[in-house]
Amino acid sequence: MHGFSVVLTPYNLVLMFVGVFLGIIVGVLPGLGGANGVAILLPLTFSMPPTSAIVMLSCIYWGALFGGAITSILFNIPGEPWSVATTFDGYPMAQQGKAGEALTASFTASFFGALVAIIMITFIAPAVANFALQFGPPEFFAVYFLTFCSFIGMGKEPPFKILVAMMLGFALAAVGIDIVTGQLRLTFGFTELLRGFNFLIAVIGLFGIGEILLSMEEGLSFTGKTAKLNMKIVFETWAKLPRFWGTAIRSTIIGCWLGITPGGATPASFMAYGIAKRTSKNGAKFGTGELEGVVAPEIANNSAGTSALLPMLALGIPGSPTAAVLLGGLLIWGLQPGPLLFVEQKDFVWGLIASMYLGNIASLILVLTCVPFFAAILKIPFSIIAPVIVVICAVGAFTVNNAMGDIWYMLVFGVVGYAFKKLDYPLAPLVLALVLGDAAESAFRQSMLISQGDVRVFFSNTLVGSITGLALLALFWPLIARLIARGKARLAQ
């Protein structure tokens, strides 16, 4: 309750609505996603008090989570990767003239998923943080290790591509001055490289410019449905929704689970859709415009997106690229995310959690009232949107360090992002590694110092041993799963 009193100042409430509004725009526009929307706006918040800044930034995040659905349903263009599954049934519904229903269902589902995840964060996060207070460097490294291993083991891209993408992130993070010895690393004598690579530049380039290049190649032309959304449709749809309680519960669990372990919102939405299809009575009709097919992925992606913030706050390990950007923001404001945050910055943590509740309510209100407006944004032709987004990205990249060189890096990252996306190299592990690289490295080196270079320190007690073991299990999971399948096949013969 204390948190609400921190957040409920008129200034913060205005920021909240501004944030949600910007977030929805960011979510609706192709080429601007939650991660780089937050990245571009981060420098603007440096002058604000940290609590207000994080309120605004997290609201951009909520807005983007909600906004992705609008384009998926009306235009069959997922504004965000996690709303791809929403197009399967959302767009057919829009074609049948039931766009209003689909939108209402998706917004309500988003709201529900996020709400459950926030409630979970409220109760579990302090406990996790408390537990994590006992962590030393080996434990922290083990947790980082688990994070990265589960990316490799659970990602749907080829494991070696994930490995390369992730390690490139680590390598980029290592450029610049070594935090322990003060030596220059990988600068090759260029003074421009002394600063190292800022992850914000990478995010803006990889996601923003890369996406523009992709959309441009496809020669996007918007041919969308218009939506009329009045209160009658909203209430009628709400009356139908309670029927899907089973799907709702399953999708929420999938979402929360994949959000905490860094699976992220995208796989969560696909998995929820798949499971709903298998378990629903109308499963066979999925893909032709079933309301349930909109509800399942939307609940899952929002609960995943929200619960991704739990490990970020409690352990300092973000569960998604956008959470990684928020984490970077915390570091810039001088707040060290992790268990101590709950002890030292109570106001901030509970303010943030309270803002999640309020931000979601604000999002729901805004999306329900402003759909025609946001749909109108999409009517702006791509040949206007594209250069404007490039300009916004350039401005965002410049303001991070006030450096012209960063704008060039942004373009290079854009080309890399374009190529990587086309070739199925995942971008999320790259960004996470870039953000966490220094922290993971110092945890590793401190552990090595403690143990005098003995790797067995990562198995020295039950806690660290079980985390490391879990990490190795996650890392080799694709192999293990294959072996199990082969064993079963042999038994069956």
Q: Which residues of 379-397 are buried (b: 16+ CB within 10 A; e: fewer)?
A: eeebeebbeebbebbbebb
Nearer to other proteins, 16 or 385 (CB): 385
Q: By CB under 8 A, how many residues form the interface with other proteins?
A: 62
User: Is the CB of 448 or the CB of 473 nearer to other proteins?
Assistant: 448
Give yes or no for residue 212 binding other proteins (CB under 8 A). yes
- Does 378 engage in binding with other proteins (CB under 8 A)? no
Q: Does 351 bind other proteins (CB under 8 A)?
A: no
Binders of other proteins among residues 236 to 265 (CB under 8 A) are none
Told to check if 216 binds other proteins by CB under 8 A, we report: yes
Distance of CA 421 to the CA centre of its chain: 17
Q: In the bound complex, what is the minimum distance in angstroms from residue 451's beta carbon to other proteins?
A: 11
Half-sphere exposure of 69 (CA within 13 A, CB side): 38
CA angle 394-395-396, nearest 5°? 90
Q: Please report, as residue ranges, which positions from 58 to 87 form the binding site for other proteins (by CB under 8 A).
A: 81
Is 376 among the residues that bind other proteins (CB under 8 A)?
Answer: no
Question: In whole angstroms, how close is the CB of 443 to other proteins at the nearest point?
Answer: 11
CB 175 within 8 A of CB 196: yes
391: left (phi over 0), alpha (psi -120 to 50) or beta: alpha
Q: Which is nearer to other proteins, 140 or 418 (CB)?
A: 418
In the complex, least distance from residue 359 CB atom to other proteins, rounded to whole angstroms: 22
Of positions 133, 194, 249, 449, contacts other proteins by CB under 8 A:
449
CB of 390 to other proteins, least distance (A): 5
CA–CA dist 254, 265 (Å, integer): 10
Selected from 49, 97, 246, 387, the binder of other proteins by CB under 8 A is 387
Residue with tokens 């696909």: 270
- What is the DSSP code string of 356-413? HHHHHHHHHHHHHHHHHHHHHHHHS-HHHHHHHHHHHHHHHHHHHHT-THHHHHHHHH
> Torsion angle, CA of 108/114/120/124, rounded to 10 degrees?
-170
SS3 per-residue string spanning 172-229:
HHHCEECCCCCCEECCCCCHHHHHCCCHHHHHHHHHHHHHHHHHHHCCCCCCCCCCCC
Q: Is 74 helix (H, G, I), strand (E, B) or coil?
A: helix
Choose between 28 and 314: whose C-beta lies nearer to other proteins: 28
Under a CB-based contact definition with an 8 Å cutoff, are residues 78 and 211 in contact?
no
Q: Which is nearer to other proteins, 181 or 223 (CB)?
A: 181
According to DSSP H, which parts of 76-98 are helical? 84-95
- Tokens of residue 167, six digits: 């390690």
The interface with other proteins within residues 404-443 (CB under 8 A) comprises: 404, 407-408, 411, 414-415, 418-426, 441
Q: Which of 10, 123, 191, 219 binds other proteins (CB under 8 A)?
A: 219
Site for other proteins in 149-208 (CB under 8 A): 158, 160-161, 163-164, 167-168, 170-171, 174, 178, 180-181, 183, 185-186, 188
Tell me how far, at minimum, the Cβ of 217 lies from other proteins, in Å.
4
- Pick the binder of other proteins from 195, 287, 340, 399 (CB under 8 A): 399
Q: Are 394 and 238 in contact (CB under 8 A)?
A: no
Binding site for other proteins (CB under 8 A): 43-44, 47, 81, 158, 160-161, 163-164, 167-168, 170-171, 174, 178, 180-181, 183, 185-186, 188, 209, 212-214, 216-219, 381, 383-384, 386-388, 390-391, 394-395, 398-399, 404, 407-408, 411, 414-415, 418-426, 441, 444-445, 448-449, 453
